[in-house]
């Protein structure tokens, strides 16, 4: 609750873009790091699996499917409760489509974060090694997510290549697009020509596309050009993916980690047999 109060009721406008990105990214960060709190559960699950599998109680595929089905609802509900609370407190884009896309992307990112830990547990001999592997990959992914340093600012080519395996990079791009795309920020008071005193934002936007009003305004020192748009902000931050493109990439990453996790679990059973 304290975290959400920090970002309570953020301002609108282009000058508040960084604060809105910060609220989005911090919410992402919580669900990237939260799985580390219960890593020991996955270690114990692995021990129980090896014991039960050695006794022939079930097949590896049955255990893996049951484990995934049992944890999925909990992850979805847990993520949505916290993420949507943050969304409302911060006053992010309030449209049904934006809220749904925000939830989908956050849930996918949470599932990936958990699956990374599961994979690291399956390929490690103990919890300490699994912790080192997971923190190394997650830490690098956070660092190369494009939030702290834009991809074009990376001077060392290998770091740019590594940024492509940063799952927070793709999640943040989708969430940023969801928040900023298509927004036209109302121009300041100087856009109101003398014949439009007290014009509403809608009237001002209409005036922006009216050549006669624009021509009338220029000699009198007025301008009907908006200061910026949400798409310009996204372009500056090099956030080019749409929400749906981000979802497609995250879904691919999620499936990839499931495939290698299942392969690691199968190999683990054969080694211990």
Same domain for 194 and 115 = no
Instruction: Say what the pLDDT of residue 189 is.
Output: 47
Same domain for 130 and 212 = no
Question: What's the domain count of the chain?
Answer: 2
Same domain for 35 and 89 = yes
Q: Please, which contacts does 143-149 make with residues 24 or more away whose CB atoms are closer than 8 Å?
A: 144/169, 145/25, 145/169, 145/172, 146/172, 146/173, 146/237, 146/238, 146/239, 147/21, 147/25, 147/172
The runs of H, that is alpha helices, within the chain are 2-6, 17-33, 39-54, 60-90, 96-122, 127-143, 157-162, 167-180, 201-208, 211-217, 230-236, 243-272
Same domain for 118 and 46 = yes
Same domain for 90 and 28 = yes
Residue ranges making up the domain that contains 91: 2-183+229-272
Same domain for 208 and 95 = no
Same domain for 103 and 28 = yes
Beta bridge partners of 140: none
Same domain for 53 and 12 = yes
Does this model's pTM top 0.85? My answer is: no
Instruction: Say what the pLDDT of residue 192 is.
Output: 47
For the chain, 273 residues long, give each residue's pLDDT as a single digit of tens. Answer: 677 788 888 888 777 888 999 999 999 999 999 999 988 888 888 888 888 877 778 888 888 998 899 899 999 999 999 999 999 999 999 999 999 999 999 999 999 999 999 999 999 888 899 999 999 999 999 999 999 998 888 889 899 999 999 999 999 999 999 999 988 876 554 454 444 445 555 655 565 555 565 555 555 445 555 557 888 889 988 999 999 999 999 999 999 999 999 999 988 867 655
Q: Which residue has the tokens 């991809």?
A: 151
């Amino acid at each position: 609750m304290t975290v959400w109060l920090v970002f309570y009721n953020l301002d609108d406008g282009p000058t508040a873009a960084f604060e809105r990105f910060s609220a989005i990214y911090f919410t992402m960060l919580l669900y990237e790091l939260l799985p580390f709190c219960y890593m020991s559960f996955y270690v114990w699950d692995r021990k129980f699996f090896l014991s039960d599998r050695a006794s022939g109680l079930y097949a590896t595929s049955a255990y893996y499917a049951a484990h995934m089905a049992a944890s999925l609802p909990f992850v979805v509900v847990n993520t949505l409760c916290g993420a949507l609370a943050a969304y409302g407190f911060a006053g992010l884009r309030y449209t049904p489509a934006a809220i749904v896309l925000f939830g989908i992307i956050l849930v996918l990112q949470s599932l990936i974060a958990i699956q990374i830990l599961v994979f690291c547990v399956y390929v490690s001999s103990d919890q300490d090694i699994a912790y080192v592997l997971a923190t190394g990959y997650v830490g690098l992914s956070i660092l190369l997510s494009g939030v702290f340093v834009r991809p074009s600012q990376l001077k060392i080519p290998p770091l740019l290549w590594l940024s492509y395996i940063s799952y927070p990079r793709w999640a943040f791009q989708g969430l940023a697009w969801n928040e900023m795309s298509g927004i036209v920020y109302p121009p300041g008071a100087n856009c109101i020509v003398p014949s439009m005193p007290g014009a509403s934002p809608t009237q001002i936007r209409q005036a922006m596309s009216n050549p006669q009003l624009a021509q009338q305004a220029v000699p009198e020192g007025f301008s009907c050009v908006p200061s910026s748009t949400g798409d310009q902000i996204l372009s500056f931050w090099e956030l080019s993916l749409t929400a749906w493109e981000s979802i497609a990439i995250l879904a691919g990453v999620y499936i990839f980690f499931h495939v290698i996790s299942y392969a690691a679990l199968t190999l683990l059973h054969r080694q211990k047999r």
